[in-house]
Amino acid sequence: MLYKLVDQKDCFELNPELLAIPEFVKLTDKQFRVVALVADRLSPLRTLPEKQRREKACMIAGYGREGTRPDKNARTIIAGGVESIEKAITVYREYQYDENQATLDTVNAQIHEIKTYLQSDKSESKDYGKALEQAAKLGERLPGLVEAKQKLESLLHISTEQRPELTTYTSADVPQEFFEEGGQDLPTIEIYNLQKIKNKE
């Protein structure tokens, strides 16, 4: 990350250079933590979709909850309603803009959207057949997107250890011994599902 973040230690004391940037000086320590966790290209939250990233950032920074949802201040930040934070996020991203990173962010968003659709209940769709057809098309695109993601991460020097596990719904998700047990004639998605069942036993 561009700046050091340590729990219970003031960001501006740890990173005095922040005081030279007008958009950052206007923020509280808690607000800057949100900005860094949302905008930094090496943030531990970088693979989450924007809204989820903002919510997690608010919780990590110390904003409260009202029951099961973030409190009012956090919800305003998540919705992009705090002008000083939005300006700081824009400036933060400008300081570290990288075309490959921007492309990676786009690929991550597409992967997330496809996975969400594939995991959704198609039986609720008005046109079940069309929904299944769409799922098949998206499933075919997913391995190519995952491959592009891995190449971009390599270019950006994001190591395998830093990447969260990602289910690709390809043979890469299935241990080799399963193929040796006679499952090689089944479609990969069926093999994957059978392996999940086997792991639960």
Residue 2, domain member (yes or no) = no
Q: Is the pLDDT of residue 162 over 50?
A: no
Annotate 146-182 with b (16+ C-beta within 10 A) or e (fewer): bebbbebbeeeebeeeeeeebebbeeebbeeebeeee
Q: What is the mean pLDDT of the chain?
A: 80
pLDDT band at 24 (very low <50, low <70, confident <90, very high): very high
Q: Say whether both 89 and 114 belong to one domain.
A: no
pLDDT at 174: 47
The reported pLDDT for the residue numbered 194 is 55
What number is the average pLDDT over the span 169-187?
48
Asked if pLDDT for residue 73 goes beyond 70, the answer is yes
HEC string of 182-193? HHCCCCHHHHHH
Q: Is 3 inside a domain boundary?
A: no
Provide the number of structural domains found in the chain: 3
Residues 87 and 107 in one domain: no
Provide the residue range defining the domain that includes 162.
99-166
Question: For the whole prediction, is pTM greater than 0.95?
Answer: no
Q: Please check whether residues 76 and 110 belong to one and the same domain.
A: no
Interior angle at CA 100, CA 98 and CA 102, nearest 5: 70
113 is a domain residue: yes
Q: What percent of the chain has a predicted confidence (pLDDT) above 70?
A: 75
- What percent of the chain is modeled with pLDDT above 90? 40
Residues 87 and 15 in one domain: yes
Judged on CB neighbours under 10 Å (0-12, 13-18, 19+), 87 is middle
> Half-sphere exposure of residue 117, counting CA atoms within 13 Å on the CB side?
19
* SS3 call for 7: coil
